[in-house]
Structure 1
């Protein structure tokens, strides 16, 4: 019997090819999109799950009383090791590391890589596998290095490279060979090697290499180190609160001890950029849920709308002895089969869309054959449930009709809850209106990030990291390189600095007026740059000068501040600050030589903070060369830069990027959300169009004789079309009334975190509703025009 059900179901699907194609395609697209989001969320939520003893692994986070004093992600360099040494009954193991971006070379191959300088416990503590090398001794020697398999291929063309060497340059310009002592097998994304997007590491050095590279992994005053702990079984994070406080109070500076409150976050719930990623996951999950609901509603609506065409078939089956339960089983089988086909098709759509979606979210996506077993079980269960929901209503209604009514095709005998199904369609329209208006608002805000007034000029600015020689001689040499590059015809100006305007500063200073006490100090973002920074980025000077044209030791205490800091120090006008001093906690007083206009150094979140520019010659740290090009042939200009760079800095890769790229990285989540909202809008519009198609089809079927009567009585084609438009455009208007306040509330909440935001006007909502009205009108006109122009005799003679 079951075989017959499936045979008849398959024949009916083939008999109504267009209907079947539309219904199956709409549902499969909804399922595929939900699968893409579900797999992405599952991957993100399962970060760190494959680490050894994942349930006992923690990362130390920092809560600072004074904003800007330190990073939440980092901890004090000496804390993890001290906890293991002083409290072995609580801490089973530790790993702390410092991330740096450095020049690495092998022969004539030169690249800039993210290095991780950390403890030898790295491999065993987290269960990473070595393809080659001994995990117990791989990081024992100060000049040893462990690399990933892809880096082995990149530098050597093979993975069996233990005993080979890579050349690394120190912060003083000295080069040294590091022997490869281990090659790591490929591992899943985790918060140990990939704690932030910028610190994604593929090359690992021992803590003994820190001295050569000029890094500090032992100081109690270094608060920019990643600290991780493995706790003993049964130990809870709360058990380490007091031990951490005691160690910090006993060893760190009074200022740090008074402001820092460390806490532990387990790696099973922590992943990179915690808060932002979670909000992104929740948002994407919500979008996927609504798209899936729309697809299901559309599927159910179309199934019901088409089912009434089979009334005569039901009548004949009953006359020939068919039982009601058999008729119900037939309808349910057909619905379940269609959902199963749609689900299988969605796997193909997933496979096709996966690389594009992975590129959109800048991540790797699991292939169809790599899904966990329970995913397939859930898909089958989903198909059964949706099939039963879609088939149950028409099955119960049509199987309950009398045989005579069914054979006569009396559709008025079918109890059809139009209000319920129009409510479902209203939900679809409201969702589409929310998606479309939200996409417009998100796009407007993202465009504001790039086109708004940032306070500096990002156009035609390229930047690249330079080799480090953090000494007075090193600064002199890199400034000479900067000067020679600035003499190119294609270049307007150049500058050397530690920071570019991407939100990543070298830290902060605690500053206060000379008439105040240390207790009244406030945080000021520290920026390290030479005297060409303001010129290159076109930062407006309000008073004074951006350092002296020629540096001398007597000018070492000169600084440049922004307007925000000038006001915080009590100066009414920028010119009043020139030549005045302010104090720095744990530092020497600084003299103000210039005041610049406030500019957006980081994202448009919160107010612009106070800023202090310190000259590179005073604090000899630098990373970037920023180059302002003249408008013209960009490709030719870059080629000329590369040639000159190779002459001046042989062996240093010219891995450049435009400032637009740096800003895009700052707003990566927002840009992803913008692209996702576009995709969701397109899908929502497709699905709502199919929903209208199904509902208008049912309405025409039910009112076909009414159309015939109206035509006989003189009604025009236009009048019949307007009759249907009136019914369905009302649904769009109601959906708009529901969607507008919901969208306004959601977008207002989303925009709250930005200090500069796009205004919420009526325009996005008007565009969304007007677009849906036009789309719905087109679908209705195309669907009804055939019925309106048909011969009324064909619809009236059946009775």
Structure 2
């Protein structure tokens, strides 16, 4: 009997291929998108979950009264180890590290690599396994190194490399061979080997290697290291608050102890909460969109299934006359609708496989493969199929099977007609959701365009940057300045600057300055930048007053600073010119500095934050540098890059020329917004496709039901346009009602989202008009194409339909 139900259901689908295709395609697209977003969310939720004792693992964070005094991610270098030593009943283990990049070489292979210099507790504390080597002794030698499999392949072509050596350069220009003592198993995504999207460590060195690199992993005034602790079982973060405050008060300098409040964040949730919770916001936003896309697809499916029910009344009547039982008719409807959903689910899985690489690229995150989930996940699509199948089939099954045979054969059912209003309400919900998503996509796009179209206060065009070898000494700076001068002589190069920073938000830390003769306790905290005399020229940063040091460096420039307009006003100067030539003190430095110039304000980081006070110190004074920023002359960029690379290789043969355009750095700042923009446009497109499929199905059903009416109207003189308008009025009214509801809601949601940015667009009527007009136009075109055939057909045929 069951086989017979399936056979009849299959024949019914083949008989109504058009409706079946619309139903299956619309639902499969909704399911596929929801599965992909679900897989993305699953992957994001799994970050850090595989770490050993993950429930007890925490990262130390810093909350500063003045946020310019330090980084939230950094902690006091001495704190993790001291907590373990002084409070062993509370703290089971600790790990802290310093992240650096340096030149690494093997033979003729030279690359810049991300390196973690940290405690030997790394492997044991987090359960990281080694493919090769002994985890117990991997960090015993100060010149040993544990590397990732990808780095082993990169330098050696194999992972069987224990005992081989890599040459690492330190920040005074010296080089030393490090023996590879272990090769990691490729770890799952975590916030230890990759603390954030900007840091993916490939080489792990023992703490003793810090001596060679010239780094310091100790001290109570060092607040730039990343620290983790593992709590004893049963211990809560609240129990560690008082001990941390006590240790900082007893050991840290007063400026730090008065301003810093350390706190613990569980590693299981840290990844999602970091950077203002951007990952959580992305998860919630995409989950919300996916839910409504799926809901729209389900509504479409249910709507069309219910709408088609009236066309099968005669079939039900004949089957009842021939002896069919009511329960058999109910089973028939339910199996038919469930079969449709199952088919849509299988097609959705195929779409998942095809679309996964594309969506993974859009979101910039790996999306779990279809066959990589736990076994119980595979029950969900089938439970969903049964639920939606029952939902779509239960109404026609119960109503039609309850009709008397005579009523069924006459093909009259008032309750089906009464359900039209309910179904139109569902379509209105779909239109509203599509409009909401589309409006949101346009506003997000406008905000992202603002980031790249707004005057940043400097010129980013034709600028490339690359990291240089480090020798943080006066001799090292002089050598880099000499190389900078020679690079600038390249015909395709306009200018070159040596600096610690590029305008991507990353800076050397806070620099406190105060006017000569004022109270040092009232010092202004600024972003401290280290750059040479060519920085403003290379980035085309306008000067409000004075000069950006001297055109050519002289020793007196080391006693000068350059500040921005915001810093000048904060120091109490009404006009920028008043600040030039005045003396200021820099906290921690005894000799005063002279303000050489005041720049116009420029965006050094994200527009989520307002422009902060900035102080430039000359790189010849600080002796800290990382980048060459190169301004190319307009023209053939690739030819200019090739010439620059050739010159670079001749001047620094052992230093890799790993360049990036400045646009790439700015793109990375707004990576989340760009990903959200792309995802919202995909969702908006899918929402419109699904709602149009719903309109297509309902209009087709409406034409079927009103075929005789159309014939009568034509006999009475109705025009083709008049008949088309008959259908247009119904659906355009729905679009208008949906727009009236969705536009205020979209405004409130997007206004709240824009409040997260210090610089943002003003919401105008443009996104609302474009969204509603586009949906209305597509609806008009679709309905016209659907109804025109019925409108021009011979009325004699229409009148014969009943």
| 2:780 alignment partner in structure 1 | 777
Q: How does 1:307-456 map to 2 (within 5 A)?
A: 307-412=309-414, 414-456=416-458
CA contact (8 A) 1:412 1:702 kept: no
1:711 paired residue among 710, 714, 717? 714
Tell me by how many angstroms 1:260 deviates: 0.4
Query: Is residue 761 of structure 2 the alignment partner of residue 758 of structure 1?
Result: yes
Partner of 2:5: 5
Instruction: State which of 793, 796, 799 in structure 2 corresponds to 1:793.
Output: 796
Q: State the partner residue of 1:168.
A: 168
Q: What corresponds to 1:270 in structure 2?
A: 270
Displacement of 1:401 after TM fit?
2.2
- TM-superposed CA distance for 1:412, in Å, is 4.5
Corresponding residue number in structure 2 for 1:480: 482
Give the structure 2 partner of residue 674 of structure 1. Answer: 677
* 1:50 and 2:50 correspond: yes
Residues 333 and 396, structure 2, Cα contact 8 Å, conserved in 1:
yes
- CA shift, 1:695, in A, is 1.7
Q: What's the secondary structure of 2:366's corresponding residue?
A: coil
**Residue 656 in structure 1 maps to residue 659 in structure 2:** yes
**Deviation at 1:319?**
0.7
List aligned pairs for 1:636-647, cutoff 5 A: 636-647=639-650
Q: Does residue 746 in structure 1 map to residue 749 in structure 2?
A: yes
For residues 414 and 268 of structure 1, the distance between their equivalents in structure 2, rounded to whole angstroms, comes to 52
Offset, 1:532:
0.3
Q: CA deviation at 1:180?
A: 0.3
> Structure 1 residues 411-420 or 349-358, which shifts more?
411-420
What number of residue pairs does the alignment pair up? 799
Cα shift readout 1:236-262 (whole Å, capped 9, x = no counterpart) = 111110111111111111000000000
Residue 40 of structure 2 corresponds to residue 37 of structure 1: no
Instruction: Single out whichever of 690-699 and 447-456 deviates more from structure 2.
Output: 690-699
Name the CA shift for 1:636/1:349 in 2 (closer, same or farther; >3 Å).
Answer: same
8 Å CA contact 2:147–2:184 kept in 1: the answer is yes
Contact 2:557 2:618 in 1 (8 A): no
Residue 139 of structure 1 corresponds to 139
Q: Could you say which residue in structure 1 is the equivalent of 2:207?
A: 207
- Give the CA deviation at 1:526: 0.6
Pair 39,556 (structure 1): closer, same or farther in 2 beyond 3 Å: same
Deviation at 1:116, TM superposition (A): 0.8
Q: Which residue of 2 aligns with 1:575?
A: 577
Q: Is the 8 A contact 1:58 1:230 kept in 2?
A: yes
Local SS of the residue matching 1:197: coil
Q: Can you give the 5+ residue segments of structure 2 that lack an aligned partner in the other structure?
A: none
Supply the distance in 1 between the matched residues of 2:417 and 2:762 (Cα, whole angstroms): 48
For residues 750-769 of structure 1, the C-alpha deviation after alignment (integer angstroms, 9 at most, x for no partner) is 11122221221101100111
2:703 match: 700
- What secondary structure is seen at the aligned counterpart in 2 of 1:753? coil
The residue aligned with 1:115 is 115
Secondary structure of the residue aligned to 1:682 is: helix
Alignment-derived partner of residue 632 in structure 2: 629
Among residues 512, 523, 526, which one is paired with 1:524 in the alignment? 526
User: Following TM superposition, by how much is the alpha carbon of 1:582 offset from its aligned partner in structure 2, in angstroms?
Assistant: 2.3
Q: Is the 8 A contact 1:411 1:702 kept in 2?
A: no
Q: Which moved more, 1:406-415 or 1:256-265?
A: 406-415
Question: Using a 3 Å threshold, how does the CA distance of structure 1 residues 646 and 790 change in structure 2: closer, same or farther?
Answer: same
Q: Which residue of 1 aligns with 2:20?
A: 20
413 and 595 in structure 1: CA distance in 2 versus 1, 3 angstrom threshold:
closer
Residue 98 of structure 1 contacts residue 226 of structure 1 at CA under 8 Å; is this kept in 2?
A: yes
- Whole-Å separation in 2 of the counterparts to 1:79 and 1:470: 27
Partner residue in 2 for 1:493:
495
Alignment counterpart, residue 458 of structure 1, candidates 437, 457, 460: 460
- Which range moved further: 298-307 or 635-644? 298-307
1:688 positional shift = 0.7
Match among 677, 684, 689 for residue 687 of structure 2: 684
CA distance in 1, matches of 2:792, 2:151: 69
Counterparts of 2:578 and 2:773, CA distance in 1? 55
- Quickly say closer, same or farther: Cα 1:669–1:565, change in 2 above 3 A: same
User: Secondary structure of the residue that 1:268 maps to in structure 2?
Assistant: helix
Partner Cα distance (1:660, 1:554) in 2: 34
What residue is the counterpart of 2:128 in the other structure?
Answer: 128
Q: Equivalents in 2 of 1:283, 1:609: separation in Å?
A: 30
Assess if the C-alpha contact under 8 Å between 2:60 and 2:262 holds in 1. Answer: yes
Which stretch has the larger CA shift, 108-117 or 692-701?
692-701
Moved more, 656-665 or 752-761: 752-761
| 8 Å contact from structure 2 (residues 22, 697) kept in 1 | no
TM score, norm. by length of structure 1: 0.98
Please tell me whether residue 82 in structure 1 is matched to residue 82 in structure 2.
yes
SS at match of 1:416: helix
Structure 2: distance between partners of 1:508 and 1:622: 16
Please tell me whether the aligned partners of residues 161 and 180 of structure 2 are also in contact (alpha carbons under 8 angstroms). yes
Take 1:414 and 1:727, find their aligned partners in 2: how far apart are those partners?
17
Distance across 2 between alignment mates of 1:304 and 1:97: 63
Query: Is the Cα–Cα contact under 8 Å of residues 708 and 800 in structure 2 kept in the other structure?
Result: no
Contact 2:524 2:571 in 1 (8 A): no
**Separation in 2 of the partners of 1:531 and 1:795?**
85
CA RMSD after TM alignment? 1.3
Partner of 2:545: 543
Q: Post-superposition shift, 1:515?
A: 4.5
2:191–2:267 Cα contact (<8 Å) kept: yes
Give per-residue Cα distances to partners, 1:712-744, cap 9 Å, x unaligned: 111111101001101110000111111111111
Instruction: Give the unaligned 5+ runs of structure 1.
Output: none
> Conserved in 2, the CA contact under 8 Å of 1:405 and 1:413?
no
